[in-house]
Amino acid sequence: MTLHIDEPRPRDAVEIDGALLTTNRYICKVDDGSVFAYVERGSEFFRASDHQLWATEREDLLVSARSGTALAQRRGKVYFDLETDTPIYYERAV
């Protein structure tokens, strides 16, 4: 998406590392609140750092797109580490 100077910025757009995203689902790190990943379509999460497919959501699990390994379990809007049960990400909607 290219915006020209005279065009208004979309209301729901968020800029991440120079890319203008218009998704409404983000995963943020619990420790610092930074956006870690975003949903571009369906249940596929892309890393904000490089915009590569990172994980998919299957039922209440966040699953690695590369290995198929479960990364975290979702309860409500929070994703918990499977081994320690500590919150590692939370979902934020714009």
Question: For residues 94 and 33, which has the higher predicted lDDT (pLDDT)?
Answer: 33
CA count, 13 A, side-chain hemisphere, 14: 16
Q: Record the tokens describing residue 93, joined without a space.
A: 């909607």
Q: What percent of the chain has pLDDT over 90?
A: 61
pLDDT tens digits, one per residue of 29-67: 999 999 999 987 788 999 999 999 999 999 999 999 999
- Is residue 14 very low, low, confident or very high in pLDDT (cuts 50, 70, 90)? low
pLDDT surpasses 50 at 11: no
DSSP 8-state secondary structure symbol assigned to residue 75 = E
Contacts of residue 68, defined as CB under 8 A and 6 or more positions apart, other chains included, come to: none
- Is residue 25 very low, low, confident or very high in pLDDT (cuts 50, 70, 90)? confident
